Amino acid sequence: MSTIFHKIQRREIPAEIVYEDEHLFAFKDIAPQAPVHVLFVPKQDFATLNDVPDNQPEIVGRLALAAAKYAKAQGFDEDGYRIVMNCNGDGGQTVFQIHLHLLAGAPLGRFGTPV
């Protein structure tokens, strides 16, 4: 698989990478929807959340906990934040390597309204 996120991971295209370990990496979204908008991406390849096997819940869990740690390190954990994973068309997914959005930095609007 080769999505734009794989190219960011390989440093083939620029991005502001804010975290990386053996399991995942995180970088600032190119079109931020909040003052803080960071994407957390596993290094294992799964196109959508539907593709993560039942016996690998850690793939998703690590993304959420990495986002929470980032929030704490940046000092906005108490003010709050939102994590989101979009899946397929109705979910608004546009890049088919699973990723978790971390949004923060201001009170966020409600969500889930059909367009």
Q: Which residues here bind ligand 5GP, judged by CB under 6 A?
A: 4, 15, 27-31, 39, 86, 92-95
99 tagged catalytic: yes
Cα three-residue angle 27-29-33, rounded to 5 degrees: 140
Q: What is the closest distance, in whole angstroms, from the C-beta atom of residue 30 to ligand 5GP in the complex? A: 3
Nearer to ligand 5GP, 31 or 115 (CB): 31
d(CA 90, CA 65): 26
Nearer to ligand 5GP, 37 or 62 (CB): 37
d(CA 45, CA 71): 25
Which residue type is seen at 66?
A: A
Please list the active-site residues: 99
